[in-house]
Structures are given as C-alpha cells and as structure tokens.
Structure 1
C-alpha cells in the first residue's frame, strides 16, 4: 500500500449496512487483511451488532452509525451522523458496502474523498416499476461521485452497464477463508449440532436421512419460499430427506407457517461452518445476487451446491456444473432429489467444488485485489491527476468526470436528478429537513426518501401524499402514473 509523503498510514473507512450475512463476512475479511497489511481501518456500522463486536476484536475503530436497511424518514439523521463520523475520522478513502451505505456515503462525500462503492447486488433488482427506474437513475447520477465501483461478478458489472451506469469498474469475485472452511465428516459435524435432533428422520438416529442445508437471510431475495414449495416433491422421491434453513429475517414467520415437519429453522448462528459440514447438499434458490458467498463457503467445505441462474452463479460454480431456473420449484426439486439419490455423484461434485474454490476463490486473492484498487486510488498520480469538475448548471458540488463536455449527458443529468427527487418523494415523507441535505438542489434533495420500498410481490405499500422541499418548494413526487417526469423548476436543471 502506498504511504503518503508524510509517512502517515492511510485510513480506510468502511461504511456498511447490513451488518449480517455475506456482506458482513466480506467486510470482516477485508478489515482483517487490511489491518494485517498495516492500514488504519475504521468502520461505520450499527453498534451492538455481531459485526461491530467482530470488527473490534480485529482491532478496527468502530463508529456507531445506527442506519436501517431501508431508506426512509431516518435518512436525514443517518446522513448527519455519517458526516460526524467522517469529520472525526478524516479518512483517506471510503469503501461503502451495499445500497444504503452507498446512498448515504456518496451523498455525504460527493467525490471529495476517493470513494469505492460495492453494491453486493444492485438495489434496482429488488424492486419493480417506478421505483426500479428511479433507483437506476440514482445509480447513474451517483456514479460521478464514485472513484470505483467494485462488483463481485462480471454478471453484476454487466447488469450495471446495461442499466446505464457509467463508472470506473473493477470485478473482484468473492473469496472465502479456505483454511477455516474445510471439509469434515458429516456424521462428526451432526453430532455437534443438537438442534438436528428436533428433525424427524427415517430412523431414530438424528444423523440418518439425507440433509439439505440452506444458509441465508430469510427474505424474498434468497428464495427460501421457492425451496419450501419444491420440498414436498423432494420428500416424495427421497423419503426421510430433511431440510434446515439457517438464518433469520423478515420472512421467518411466513416461512415457518408454510414449512412441513421435515424442515428445521436453525435461526441466526455465530458459526455456519458446522452446518455446511453436516449437509449432504447445500441449496441457495436466490432470486437475485451479485455473487453469493454461502455457496463458495459450502464448496470450500467440500459440499456440492444447487444454485439458481442469478448473477455470479455460473462464475462461482466449477466448470461443467449448471444452475437451475429462478423461481421454478419443479426443476429445483428435480435437481435436489437427483443429487440426494446419488451419493457417489455428490462426493465427486464436492471434491471438485473444494478444488475449484482453492484455485479461484481464496479470500487472499479477493482482499489483495481490493488492496490494489486502494493503491491505484491513493497513488500520488491519482491524487494529482484530473479531478471531478462541476456539471454545467448543476452547482459546485455536483461533479462529473473530467474530459466530458457536459453536452451529451446534460439531458440525462436532468432526468437523473429528477428521478432521484421522485425516488425521495415516492412515499410522501411529510415535513421537510432543513436545506435538503445542505447540498445544491441538483445534487439531490434527500429529505423525501421512501421509508418502505415496495419489493416484488410483497404487501409493503408506500405511504401516500407528498411534501414540498423546504429550500426549493418543488413537490417531492414528480411522478405521473408509472413514469417520472422532468422537474420544470429552473433551479434544478
């Protein structure tokens, strides 16, 4: 890592929300490697979380940033709090993880510090219709405040490119600690998991009956509902088969109500490795991903996996293995049953899986690739090179890439700003917040972010009404029907 001329060790600030699941494990891996490399590392995340404790144990400075997963009325306060963290830490580089952290960090920094954004799956894939279009506009707009967008798969990068996000890209596939995630006999692992005794099996011994494990947050993205719909067909073909869902989340109550007796809910666990080792097969039926970490961890433990055809699936599977279609219980059940009925095939696929992860997804490869990105962004020539310059008519704090005339993208700029304002107003947050994030209006009016984003096929409904922006008196929700219209206020374009 390049050190500044002063000899001061660079300080990297990671900003993260969520604080569980694969994203949290990625952040912990990066912090561990960066501390070992001699960097000063700070993390802004909700205090009191399991992640915060892990990071402190690794020697990182942890700053409380009590952000929620969803955008909403809490956003102005979250932005103020992150600005306080930035003022206290004065980082040399900021690395924001996932949509919420990427939103708030880029609003707070606006390109003034080298900023890395890692989506860990694009937010606009989680929503439909108007909100999806507005989320895309936000990503297009905020790319100018992003020194590098780091994707975990080429498919994730291609999704961003197709959406019109003009960015400086790097692809760094997820990696796992292959020394920690290593094979062990299933029977040995099962004996250390007393929860398994609650599952009915073909005999009285809880270690009997093939075991399928699904590790992931219990939410729509991870597709456990599809797996539960497939499960009766699996049990008909493989009597005694058992399923364990490891994790918790907003869909837990509904999934429990739908689950048959041969399904166990293990809840959130501190250590997932014993569950991978106990499994005969690991399944992740996601609806969308960037590149899921759980399958890589399972493969490192020598277990075969079944994945759906989402971003990163083909890139993480060993050559010759194929994912199954998304949201189709029939093909999912067929693949699971076929593997449960063929122990020799499972053993061969598990051996291939371990070898594949060792060769291509070791965590040391991933963390070093991120360090190389930091080196590029903190190098003296990067610091003295072309800087972001103002977009004509957009205010001093709305930078664009140097070298652009501003003409070819001016219309898109206007549409992007309008789209972002419409996103803020999608739920009609009442009241206003000061000077709209204390930024020029073209940089984004953040007082009106939706508290609840309508996800695909859920019952979450946004609130009604709209509220004027305190500084510009422009209505928050510039939407007609399903499309956002351009804001005609001259101060905004």
Structure 2
C-alpha cells in the first residue's frame, strides 16, 4: 500500500523534555492528552526513568528515548546529536522544547528548520549563579532567535526575560490543573480534612485535629524546603501544636532530614506520593517557599482542593493567588523569619484559613482549568503552522 501523503497525515508535535518528574512532566502529559484527543500526533522525547515516559504513553503519545542530564556539561554535544536524531526519526511539523536543557539542545539541533516553541518552565539563569548563570543568560539571549515563540507560564516570567535582555516573540499561557481530579473530597472542609488525615500514615505525635502545614514538591534547592525548616522553630514558639509534612523526594532529602532533627518536633518526611490529593486535603495550609518558579503547579492543585496556600513572592506566585490574598499569603523568598510570622498568623486562625480556602477553591475553578491551558497551546501551534483548527472540536471558552 502506498504511504500516505505527508499533507494528509496528522500534524506531528515533538515534545523534547529533560525533566521526567515533577511539574514539567505533568504539564507535558496534560498537553499530550489534549492534543491526542484533538487528532494531533504527539511524540515525547525524554530521558529514561521518572514518571514522564509512562504517563505520556498512557496519555496517547509515542515516547522515544533522548538521553540528557539536568545540568550543563561535557555531555552537551552528545545531547544535541541525540536531539537531532530524534528530530530526523519523527519528522515533526513543530518542535516544543520544555525546560532549559531541552531548549538548549533542541534549538541547537533544529536551528530554525521547523516551527519551534521554547517553554522555559522557569529561567535557567535563576537556577545558577556566577559564571554559569552569566553563560546561561547569554545563551538565552542568543538562542531566542531559534524560537518562533517563547512560551511563558506567567506574565512575571515573561517580564523577567525581557528585563534580562531576551528579545523574543512572546506568548503567555498560564498553567492549569485538572479540576475533575483536584477538588475537595467532601463538601464540608472539616469532614474532608478529617477523612483525609484518617487515610494517611501520619506519625503518632500528629494530633488528628491540630494545625497541619503541607509542602508538596521535589526536595531540592529550588523548592526551598530548607528555608521552611529554618522557619519552623520560630513558628513552634507561637503555634506549639503545629505539624509539618514534606511530601516528595529529591537530592536534598537526607541533608534536610538532618536539619529537621535539629529544628524541633513535628516534621514528617512523607516521601513521594503517587496521589498527592489526600495530603492536600489533609492540610490546613499548603506552603511552597520556592527560590524561583515560572508558575508552580502545587499551589494551583491545593487551591483546587479548597486549601489556602502560602507562597514565596517569585514568578507566577502573585498571579496564582486570589485577588486580595497577597497581603497574607505571599512572603519574600529566602526569608525564614517572614515565613515563620506568616505561618503563625495563618495557622493560628482556623476561621481565616477556612475563608481563604473557599476563596482559593473558587479562584482555581474560575482561572486555572487545564482545558483552557491546553486549548491555548494547541491554538498557538496552529497559528505558527498557518493551519486552521478543525471546526468540530468542542473547546472551553477563554
């Protein structure tokens, strides 16, 4: 049988991705699921390991191995060659490169030979300092020429790029979450919280009805759990019954366990969780003291479950919060004292937490539906390709 003409084949999108866990992996999986449902051919090139290969395949993508490390280094030439090989095998209509490493290798491999979207998911130069940070910024300025669109997940992320001298064709499409998946388990928040805590393997010294803060995220320098642990003894001085659960794992886990052992009672390392919803629902407050972000998913997921959040004032944070909550729910990054004071104000006020949680739930349902996000990204693809979208697709109104 003769091969199908290229023009008659479905539009093929190659997602080149280095992080195989965490928020980037969830964003890519959501995009793949929506694009496959719309009739696009989605291919994911990513390193082995982690969750992305499995979840992307289950969402309908073809998954190919692209070997790449998180940090820059001597392996970059091989990573570029590997990206070029994936491009040659897939022959995509459009390349969507996610994160700094994929943005670097993917753009050097393609060099403008096909429509290219680069999505930093937080800027590389925020993650490193010194000579490495300066080199990362020089690359971002230079590499923008090989992106038909630089896609940011918050206005703050775009402004940060512009401020640092990156000249690009910009789009801003905010992250979203699956509101059917992330939602309160019970209409009554108190009952929802009690049932969630009963499900979880909480330590014996965690009171069933005591104030519980939960931090969800990869345990690493970016997410700032070390800042939270430095703040914790100050918090216990004002709210002695407070408890903290750190949900996730990562390279800093053992070091932070040692810090926690010296910081006072009431800190539990829960490890990675296949389903974080019970932890979110068990919380009185979800806290994420990141050093940098584009727009973190964990606060959006917590709000969708009806839980208030306390976040550091990094890119995307102000845009995540309900109007008016910034005064209470934002703290300066890398400031343990300010974090402890904010934790104390919130955890000591259950009625305030209930009010903030309801505002958060309504805000998430209004502003952060993942269907709106994925629809906008697919619309961007069609714009760059100069192809009309099929008219028979049902889409959420923007």
Equivalences for 1:336-375 in 2 at 5 Å? 336-375=343-382
**C-alpha offsets along residues 357-386 of structure 1, whole Å, 9 cap, x if unaligned?**
1111110111111011101111159xxxxx
* Counterpart for residue 376 of structure 1: 383
Which sections of structure 2, spanning at least 5 residues, go unmatched?
A: 186-191, 389-398
Question: Among 269, 272, 277, which residue is 2:273 paired with?
Answer: 269
Aligned to 1:222, the other structure's residue is in SS state coil
Superposition TM-score, scaled by structure 2 size: 0.91
Which sections of structure 1, spanning at least 5 residues, go unmatched?
A: 382-493
Equivalences for 1:15-414 in 2 at 5 Å? 15-184=16-185, 185-194=192-201, 196=202, 198=203, 200-202=205-207, 207-260=208-261, 261-322=265-326, 323-379=330-386
Distance 1:337 1:155 in 2: 28
**C-alpha offsets along residues 264-313 of structure 1, whole Å, 9 cap, x if unaligned?**
11112211111111111000001111111110010000000001111111
Question: Does the 8 Å CA contact 1:199/1:262 hold for their aligned counterparts?
Answer: no
Aligned to 2:174, the other structure's residue is in SS state coil
Are the structure 2 counterparts of residues 280 and 161 from structure 1 closer, same or farther at C-alpha, using a change threshold of 3 Å?
A: same
Question: Does the 8 Å CA contact 1:199/1:264 hold for their aligned counterparts?
Answer: no
- The structural deviation recorded for 1:201 is 2.8
**C-alpha offsets along residues 65-124 of structure 1, whole Å, 9 cap, x if unaligned?**
121111112222222222211111100001111101101100100010111000011000
Runs of 4+, deviation exceeding 4 Å: none
**C-alpha offsets along residues 131-188 of structure 1, whole Å, 9 cap, x if unaligned?**
2222111011111110100000001000111111111100011100111000130111
Distance 2:131 2:204 in 1: 44
Distance 2:193 2:69 in 1: 37
Distance 1:296 1:265 in 2: 22
- The structural deviation recorded for 1:337 is 1.4
- The structural deviation recorded for 1:216 is 1.0
State the aligned residue count.
372
Distance 2:49 2:221 in 1: 26
- The structural deviation recorded for 1:62 is 0.2
Aligned to 1:220, the other structure's residue is in SS state coil
User: Which one is further off, 127-136 or 210-219?
Assistant: 127-136
**C-alpha offsets along residues 1-48 of structure 1, whole Å, 9 cap, x if unaligned?**
xxx982221000101111111111111110111111110000001223
